[in-house]
Amino acid sequence: MIRMYCAYIFLLLNGLAFQSSATEAPELFEVLRNKVLSVHDYTAKVKMKINVNYMRIPQLAGVLYYKSPDKMKLERNGGLSILPKKNINLTLRNLIPSGDVLVIDAGADTIEGKTVRILKVVPTDDGAIVLTKIWVDEARMVAMRTETTTRDEGTVIMDLRYDKYVSFALPDNVTIHMDIKEYKLPKGVTMDYNDLPDAKNIKKVKNKKGTIQISYLNYEINKGISDSIFEKE
């Protein structure tokens, strides 16, 4: 109820400030969302690099399978698939609220020299997403950036760059910024080697942010994917 109230205040304030906008914010959001939702599944060759302070993972190459609404799997020819948990999924689809929303125009910004509109989207249901800010490139009708505040996973920022698949609103490059929880195992269990004094000097930055960079090399879109591919091994 409180959220609804807040959303109305947002709407009111922003409505007053940006009455002159060409397309209304809710309309813009709907067009964008429909474009995103038009992709039901895809298979894409990807390269993924996970940059999390406590994780030392080389660049992973593989095939990313996606099926709406939330099935995803990285196939690495026998290798392991490491993906963020469901709530911070790699697709825009899951960072944009899917139910009824309030959309507020939050002004304009510039990303890579392009002027973009900022939309604030507040879901009216009790889903995992509390608030999503979307930076929209109106000319191409794609989201250049999203900033999603989730109930449990903190804030996730996603930067998207488009090229060949812009008509499907599918990015070629995505960088996800996420909050990282602390990781620690007892030394008595792991019996680490590096415990020499000089090893202690190795930077122990308490970086709480992590990024995941994904390059999509090609997409096969809406060809239909069997559910069995996503079954847990």
* DSSP structural state of residue 227: G
HSE, CB side, 13 Å, CA atoms: give it for residue 178.
23
Q: Name the minimum Å distance from CB 74 to other proteins.
A: 8
* Residue 175 to residues 38, 169, 171, Cα–Cα distance (Å): 22, 15, 10
- Residue 192 within binding range of other proteins, rule CB under 8 A: yes
Q: How many residues bind other proteins (CB under 8 A)?
A: 42
Residue at token pair 């939702």: 37
Residue 68: closest CA among 100, 97, 39: 39
Q: Name the minimum Å distance from CB 150 to other proteins.
A: 12
Among residues 1, 2, 139, 191, which is the contact residue for other proteins, using CB under 8 A? Answer: 191
Closest to other proteins by CB, 1 or 202: 202
Q: CA torsion, points 23, 115, 160, 164, in degrees to nearest 10?
A: 80
Among residues 69, 79, 99, 127, which is the contact residue for other proteins, using CB under 8 A? Answer: 79
Closest to other proteins by CB, 56 or 139: 56
The stretch among 22-30, 33-41, 49-57, 97-105 that binds other proteins (CB under 8 A) is 49-57
Q: What is the CA radius of gyration of the chain?
A: 20
**Terminal Cα-to-Cα distance of the chain (whole angstroms):** 42
Q: Name the minimum Å distance from CB 48 to other proteins.
A: 12
Closest to other proteins by CB, 153 or 172: 153
Give backbone dihedrals phi and psi of 29, rounded to 5 degrees, phi first.
-60, -45
The full length of the chain comes to: 233
Q: By CB under 8 A, what part of segment 130-189 binds other proteins? A: 153, 178, 180-181, 183-189
Closest to other proteins by CB, 131 or 176: 176
Evaluate whether 118 touches 18 at the Cβ level (below 8 Å): no
Collapse the DSSP code of 47 into the 3-class scheme (helix H, G, I; strand E, B; otherwise coil) and give the result: strand
Evaluate whether 95 touches 89 at the Cβ level (below 8 Å): yes
Closest to other proteins by CB, 57 or 217: 57
- Residue 199 within binding range of other proteins, rule CB under 8 A: yes
Among residues 23, 69, 86, 149, which is the contact residue for other proteins, using CB under 8 A? Answer: 86
Cα 80 from Cα 62, distance rounded (Å): 10
- Residue 213 within binding range of other proteins, rule CB under 8 A: no
Q: Which residues contact other proteins (rule: CB under 8 A)?
A: 54-58, 60, 73, 76, 78-86, 88, 153, 178, 180-181, 183-199, 204, 232-233
